[in-house]
Amino acid sequence: MKDLQKLFIQYQKAVISVGILLFSVIALFVGVIPSFKTTIALFHENKTLQDEVSALALKTDSLHSMSEEDLRSKLTLATSAVPSDKQIPSLFDAIEILVSRSKVSLEDLSLDSNQAISSDSAKRQVKEDKTIGAPLIGFTVMLKGGYADLRSFLSEIVSVRRFFRVRFFDLTFQNESSGQMRVGADAFYFPLPTTIPGVAAKLQLLSGDDEDLLKKISVYPWLAETVSAPLTPTVYEPKVNPFGQ
Amino acid sequence: MPTLGSINLLKSKATASVLPQGVEASLNRFAIASVMVLCVVGICVSAAFFYLRFEHDALTAKKDEYSNEIINNSVKEGLQSAIKERMVMTAKVLKVRKPYALLLDSIGIVAPPGKLTNVSVDETGKTRITIRASSIEETIDMANAIIALTKEGKFKGPDLTSFQFGKSNDVLFTVSFVPVL
């Protein structure tokens, strides 16, 4: 013990210096380096947060610049071309109007066998076009008329606001003035989204092509008013019970 | 050994260090420098941390504010996303619609309605036309018209699938091709 004390007194200054150095090294590893790491992590977090805030600010500005009425009218226009549900009655109306405009006579109109008319519960049975990703209603019409009229029907069916696609047709002439045509076609529909994108989701703005497409749709004649107001909460009035009084 | 008149066995003052003077002084300077560097770095890191923490809080507040505004405008966002989604799909629908009236116009160049017996287009787009021509010469003219339309790029791969020569010199023939619409 005496030797140790003697040694300490002998190397007092050096021992204090080494002690301070040791303290500095320990403080560096225990305090400074972890704090530095935390600060760097915070810096990166802030950078991410800054990007998020910028994106949200942009989204907010975009939403503020939009008019709800304008959006509703655009959606109404878009759903007039491709309805949000099957709308079979309006499909029949559209075919009837097309037939009368083309001056042909409708001999037969049938929906493809796998169509579910009455309920949406059989949606899985409905055909879906894989290239488009939209469900479709297949139908076949049998028409009679002159060459020009039947040609007019083929022209009109792809020039109206409810979008149809001719899958096949078979045109046979009995004589020079009249012919019979069987046309297989599809009517498209596309359900409205049931969920709203999340707050952080990027707002999909309409491109120039989309605006052009909307203009193109608006030019096509609208055969039947079929669209209900979408995404609007509906308030149902309770029915009055006539036997209740 | 204790000197005379002193009872301390240990010397009260340290004797001169055995270490060389230069080494001891360097150690001392190094220790002081390390403490100073530690203090400076510590202060800088702390300052940066508190500044970033303050910035983080401000950004979080802004994010919450914008998020609330977006939630308040969720109807607009829903409408916008519905339109966009529908436009993408509608553009695809437009691409698959084929103007078959134009095909009839092209076929009309080959054979007028009175000569045309049948036109059929299957789901793959392959077209078959059956024409009744009144003579071989007329048949040749019609065949030339089909060749001309193929050269123009309106028809692809024309193929004579049947040919019947009647007693009254009339010809019934069927041609298949793929129209380019």
Structural domain including A109 reads 74-191+207-219
Those residues whose C-beta lies under 8 Å from the C-beta of residue A242, and which sit 6 or more positions away, are: none
Q: What is the pLDDT of residue A241?
A: 60
Query: Are B109 and B72 contained in the same domain?
Result: no
Rounded CA separation A93/A77 (Å): 18
Domain annotation covers residue B13 = no
Structurally, chain B folds into a number of domains equal to: 2
Site of tokens 């001891």? B24
Q: What is the pLDDT of residue A236?
A: 40
B131-167: burial string, b at 16+ Cβ within 10 Å, e else: bbbeeeebbeebbeebeebeeeebbeebeeeeeeeee
Give strand ranges (E) for chain A: 105-111, 128-129, 134-145, 164-173, 179-188
Query: Are A142 and A52 contained in the same domain?
Result: no
- The beta-carbon neighbor of B59 closest among A53, A75, A204 is A53
Q: Measuring CA to CA, which residue among B96, B168, B129, B70 is closest to residue A163?
A: B96
Q: Which SS3 state, helix, strand or coil, does residue A238 take?
A: coil
Q: What is the pLDDT of residue A221?
A: 85
Contact at 8 Å (CB) between A168 and A134? no
Rounded CA separation A32/A40 (Å): 12
Domain annotation covers residue A133 = yes
- The beta-carbon neighbor of A57 closest among B66, B98, B113 is B66
Contact at 8 Å (CB) between A86 and A182? no
Of chain A, the end-to-end C-alpha distance in Å amounts to 110
Rounded CA separation B62/B55 (Å): 11
Burial degree of A124 (CB within 10 A; 0-12, 13-18, 19+) = exposed
Query: Are B91 and B104 contained in the same domain?
Result: no
Domain annotation covers residue B16 = no
Query: Are B127 and B62 contained in the same domain?
Result: no
Residues of chain A found within 8 Å of residue B113, distances taken between Cβ atoms = 147, 173, 176, 179
Q: pTM of the predicted model, to two decimals?
A: 0.72
* Domain end (from B43, B68, B97): B97
Q: What is the pLDDT of residue B16?
A: 54
Q: What is the pLDDT of residue A8?
A: 78
Per-residue pLDDT tens, chain B, 181 aa: give them: 455 556 666 555 555 556 677 788 888 899 999 999 999 999 999 999 999 999 999 999 999 999 999 999 999 999 999 999 999 999 998 888 889 999 999 999 999 888 899 999 998 889 999 999 999 999 999 999 999 999 999 999 999 999 998 888 889 999 999 999 8
Query: Are A97 and A139 contained in the same domain?
Result: yes
Structural domain including B57 reads 21-97
Structurally, chain A folds into a number of domains equal to: 2
- The beta-carbon neighbor of A49 closest among B49, B59, B67 is B59
Domain annotation covers residue B9 = no
Q: Hey, CA dihedral for A130, A136, A138, A143, is it positive or negative?
A: negative
Q: What is the pLDDT of residue A125?
A: 41
Domain annotation covers residue B46 = yes
Domain annotation covers residue A226 = no
Domain annotation covers residue A240 = no
* Domain end (from B42, B74, B97): B97
Rounded CA separation A185/A139 (Å): 6
Please report the ipTM that was assigned to this predicted complex.
Answer: 0.74
User: What CATH number corresponds to the domain at position B168?
Assistant: 3.30.1360.100
* Domain end (from B97, B119, B152): B97
Rounded CA separation B99/B111 (Å): 19
Q: What is the pLDDT of residue A229?
A: 43
Residues of chain B found within 8 Å of residue A72, distances taken between Cβ atoms = 79
Residues of chain A found within 8 Å of residue B55, distances taken between Cβ atoms = 46
Q: Which residue of B has its CA nearest to A66?
A: B76
Q: Measuring CA to CA, which residue among A141, A158, A167 is closest to residue B120?
A: A167
Rounded CA separation B60/A49 (Å): 7
Query: Are B86 and B29 contained in the same domain?
Result: yes
Query: CA neighbours within 13 Å on the CB side: how many for A88?
Result: 13
CB contact under 8 A, B46 and A57: no
Low-confidence ranges of chain A (pLDDT < 70): 113-129, 224-245
Contact at 8 Å (CB) between B151 and B143? no
Query: Are A140 and A88 contained in the same domain?
Result: yes
Domain annotation covers residue B163 = yes
Domain annotation covers residue A114 = yes
* Residue of B39, B90, B174 to mutate when probing chain A, most A C-beta within 10 A: B90
Q: Measuring CA to CA, which residue among A95, A122, A154 is closest to residue B179?
A: A154
- pLDDT tens by residue, A21-77: 999 999 999 999 999 999 999 999 999 999 999 999 999 999 999 999 999 999 999
Burial degree of A88 (CB within 10 A; 0-12, 13-18, 19+) = middle
Q: What is the pLDDT of residue B64?
A: 95
Q: What is the pLDDT of residue B3?
A: 53
